[in-house]
Amino acid sequence: MTIKKQDVLIIGVGGQGIILASDILGEVAIAAGYDVKKTDTIGMAQRGGSVVSHVRIASHVWSPLIKEGDVDILLAFEKLEAARWTPYLKSDGLAVINNHAIPPLSVSLGTSQYPTNQEVANILRQRTDKIYFIDGTDKAKELGDIRTLNILMLGYISSLLPIKLEIWQDCISKTMPPKILDINVRAFEQGRKESTRVNL
């Protein structure tokens, strides 16, 4: 099986390791013989703002930006961001959401409110019923380092793409510094295991 077209939108909050995750996904797709384009919109912030990364995999890719309504996999590291980027998802696309809230400051200041999981799911259901909340942050904490969240999330979607496991493992070991490689390998395996538990 080969990929005809796979548009993956990885979203979350600055500091969650989104850019690294999309870089690895891009390298994996190249190693598997595809054309890849990826682009990030980071805006102004070093930390704390919305981060969006578009990864497009196909035999030939033109625009690096995914067209609104075309996303095959929405990989959200944060719940509010999942809701915000719903219009990008295609009908019946897949939404994988880290069950974790990072409330914007306006929520703390009392000028806005954070959506409940139900509200996030209701927004997503305008596009798809394939909505999966996973306890990524909690699992990463259990592994011993919250920063492994990005690799754990990648592990989760790795089983959905027809790309050999060895390519993933190879790219991760090439990208990660030796000191933190072991914990990230375990995070990847954990994520992959989580996804096989549900019938995606």
Partner 1 sequence: MKKLLSGNEAIALGAYHAGVSVATAYPGTPSTEILASISQFNDIYAEWSTNEKVAMEVGLGAAYAGVRSMISMKHVGLNVASDPFMSAAITGINGGMVIVSADDPGVHSSQDEQDNRLYAKFAKVPMLEPSDSQEAYDLIAIAFDLSEQFDTPVLFRSTTRISHSKSVVDVNKNRTAPKQPLFKPDMPKYVMLPAYARMRRPLVEERLMKLAAYAETFPYNQIMWGERKLGIVSSGIAYQYAREVFPEASFLKLGMIYPLPHKLIRQFAEQVDRLIVIEELEPFLQEHIQAMGIKVSGKEFIPRIGELNTLIVKNAATGTGLLAKPQQQKPTVSLPPWLPARPPLLCPGCPHSGMYFVLSTMGQRAKLLDADGRAQKEPGLIVNGDIGCYALGTNPPLRVHDTTTCMGAGIGHAQGMEKAGVGAKVVAVIGDSTFLHSGITGAVNAVYTQAGITIIILDNNTTAMTGHQEHPGTGISAQGKKTKAVDLEQLVKGIGVSDVKVVDAFNMKALRAAAKSSIDNPELSVIIVRGACVVQVKRRTAPSAIDAEKCDKCGVCLMIGCGAIQKDNDRIYIDTTLCVGDICTICQQICPKGAISSMPTAEAKK
Q: In Å, what is the CA distance from 38 to each residue of 44, 61, 156, 168?
A: 19, 10, 20, 17
Task: State which of residues 1, 2, 4, 62 lies at the interface with partner 1 (CB under 8 A).
Answer: 62
* Rg from Cα positions in the chain: 16
> Per CB under 8 A, which region of 1-9, 64-72, 160-168, 186-194 contacts partner 1?
64-72
- How far from each other are the two terminal CA atoms of the chain, in whole angstroms? 17
Nearest to partner 1 of 65, 180 (CB atom): 65
By CB under 8 A, is residue 138 in contact with partner 1? no
Residues 21/55, Cβ–Cβ less than 8 Å: no
> Per CB under 8 A, which region of 75-83, 158-166, 173-181, 182-190 contacts partner 1?
75-83
**Binding to partner 1, residues 81-110 (CB under 8 A):** 81, 83-84, 86-87, 89, 91, 103-110
Rounded-to-integer distance, Cα 41 and Cα 196, Å:
31
Nearest to partner 1 of 48, 162 (CB atom): 48
- 109's enclosing H/E stretch is none
Nearest to partner 1 of 135, 189 (CB atom): 135
Rounded-to-integer distance, Cα 161 and Cα 164, Å:
9
Amino acid at the residue 199: N
**Binding to partner 1, residues 10-29 (CB under 8 A):** 13-14, 23, 26-27
- 12's enclosing H/E stretch is strand 5-13
CA angle 52/57/62 to nearest 5° reads 85
Task: State which of residues 5, 59, 92, 113 lies at the interface with partner 1 (CB under 8 A).
Answer: 113
Task: State which of residues 5, 43, 144, 200 lies at the interface with partner 1 (CB under 8 A).
Answer: 43
Rounded-to-integer distance, Cα 24 and Cα 20, Å:
6
> Per CB under 8 A, which region of 2-10, 66-74, 159-167, 184-192 contacts partner 1?
66-74
Residues that bind partner 1 (CB under 8 A): 13-14, 23, 26-27, 30, 35-50, 61-65, 67-69, 80-81, 83-84, 86-87, 89, 91, 103-115, 119, 123, 126-127, 146
